[in-house]
């Protein structure tokens, strides 16, 4: 069906998008690579010089980098664990017969649509404030001492905020997957006398393996670069306790104006993200009919 004319037209229509994305990807990347080899500070822009891989050596051996890397891994790992361990039972629950299910689903999905700066500030002030926050009040109700979240457990506080934002995403995807599960297979298992637990372990869980993988990969891509939540609540502190890689690069670039070092850090971030992206693109590609 694809005539020569359609082919030519097709290519013409595709070119602008491909060209734009190509420029968008390649120009900043090449500039980042170039800057990463320079000693270049915006505070003293005249004094730039070529330093080879010096910035990478500095960035990778900087204790701040190791701290930031650890914080990034803890943040990503914890949020993934929370969203999947809570999202799976929640999706199973919403897949049951529930009175008013659509309303419950609206409530569960809502956090995903709240802009990051709002969720971070509402959690920090209205919920987690050590004196007047809702959590502090609940703690005193049960006779516990309120936690001073942003002083005593700042990284945990950020993790909880981010997990709250991403729980709807995990739940919604797992729910979508559950609803495409073969009902007859489940019925057959039940008629053969399989318990609810073994139906779950041998039928539902394998069915969820793929969507869970997809949730892990997509969330990881976004969670590696959590920024706004840290920016408005802790500014990376106290000390470096909530500085992740993204925030470290930001502070080197726009607070210390160290272009060379921030660029080297940026490339490190690109490499880390690409490792995850590699697996995600493969999974998507296997599913794609073009």
Partner 1 sequence: MARRVTARRIWVSTAAAWLFGFLIFLPILWMVLTSFKTELEAFSMPPKFLLFHWTTENYVTVQERSDYLHHAVNSLLIAGGSTLIAMIIAIPAAWSMAFAPTQRTKDILLWMLSTKMMPSVGVLVPIYLIFRDFGLLDRRAGLVMILCLGNLPIVIWMLFTYFKEIPKDILEAARMDGATIGRELVYVLTPMAVPGLASTLLLNFILAWNEAFWTLNLSTSDAAPLTVFIASYSSPEGLFWAKLSAASTLAIAPIIILGWFTQRQLVRGLTFGAVK
Binding positions for partner 1, 6-45, rule CB under 8 A:
6-7, 9-11, 13-14, 16-18, 20-21, 24-25, 27-29, 31-32, 35
Contact status, residue 159 vs residue 78, Cβ threshold 8 Å: yes
Beta carbon of residue 179, minimum distance to partner 1 (angstroms, whole number): 10
- Among 66, 85, 101, 144, contact with partner 1 (rule: CB under 8 A): 101
Contact status, residue 279 vs residue 214, Cβ threshold 8 Å: no
Beta carbon of residue 36, minimum distance to partner 1 (angstroms, whole number): 9
Q: How wide is the angle at C-alpha 228 spanned by C-alphas 222 and 232, nearest 5°?
A: 155
Q: Which residues contact 217 (CB under 8 A, 6 or more apart)?
A: 276, 279, 280, 283
Beta carbon of residue 110, minimum distance to partner 1 (angstroms, whole number): 6
Quick one: which of 67, 12, 46 has its CA closest to 248? Answer: 67
- Among 60, 73, 104, 139, contact with partner 1 (rule: CB under 8 A): 104
- Among 46, 153, 168, 242, contact with partner 1 (rule: CB under 8 A): 168
DSSP state letters, 79-120:
HHHHHHHHHHHHHHHHTS--TTHHHHHHHHHGGGGS-HHHHH
The pair of three-digit structure tokens given for residue 218, joined into one six-digit string: 């997509």
- Among 51, 60, 69, 93, contact with partner 1 (rule: CB under 8 A): 93
Residues 52-91 interacting with partner 1 (rule: CB under 8 A): 90
- Among 51, 60, 67, 105, contact with partner 1 (rule: CB under 8 A): 105
When asked if residue 195 is in the footprint of partner 1 (CB under 8 A), the reply is no
When asked if residue 230 is in the footprint of partner 1 (CB under 8 A), the reply is no
């Amino acid at each position: 069906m694809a005539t020569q004319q359609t082919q030519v037209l097709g290519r013409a229509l595709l070119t602008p998008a491909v060209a734009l994305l190509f420029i968008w990807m390649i120009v900043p990347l090449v500039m980042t690579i170039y800057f990463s080899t320079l000693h270049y500070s915006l505070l003293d822009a005249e004094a730039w010089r070529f330093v080879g891989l010096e910035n990478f050596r500095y960035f990778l051996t900087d204790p701040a980098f190791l701290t930031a890397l650890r914080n990034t891994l803890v943040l990503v790992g914890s949020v993934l664990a929370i969203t999947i361990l809570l999202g799976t039972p929640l999706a199973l629950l919403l897949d049951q017969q529930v009175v008013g299910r659509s309303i419950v689903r609206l409530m569960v999905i809502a956090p995903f649509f709240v802009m990051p700066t709002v969720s971070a500030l509402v959690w920090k002030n209205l919920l987690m404030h050590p004196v007047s926050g809702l959590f502090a009040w609940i703690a005193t109700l049960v006779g516990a001492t309120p936690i001073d979240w942003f002083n005593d457990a700042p990284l945990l506080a950020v993790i909880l905020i981010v997990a709250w934002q991403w729980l709807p995403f995990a739940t919604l995807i797992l729910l979508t997957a559950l609803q495409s599960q073969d009902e007859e297979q489940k019925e057959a298992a039940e008629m053969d006398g399989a318990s609810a637990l073994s139906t779950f372990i041998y039928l539902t869980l394998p069915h969820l393996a793929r969507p869970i993988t997809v949730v892990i990969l997509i969330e990881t891509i976004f969670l590696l670069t959590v920024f706004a939540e840290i920016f408005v609540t802790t500014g990376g502190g106290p000390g470096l306790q909530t500085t992740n890689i993204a925030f470290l690069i930001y502070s080197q670039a726009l607070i210390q104006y160290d272009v060379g070092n921030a660029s080297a850090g940026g490339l490190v971030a690109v490499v880390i993200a690409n490792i995850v992206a590699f697996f995600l693109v493969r999974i998507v590609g296997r599913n794609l009919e073009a």
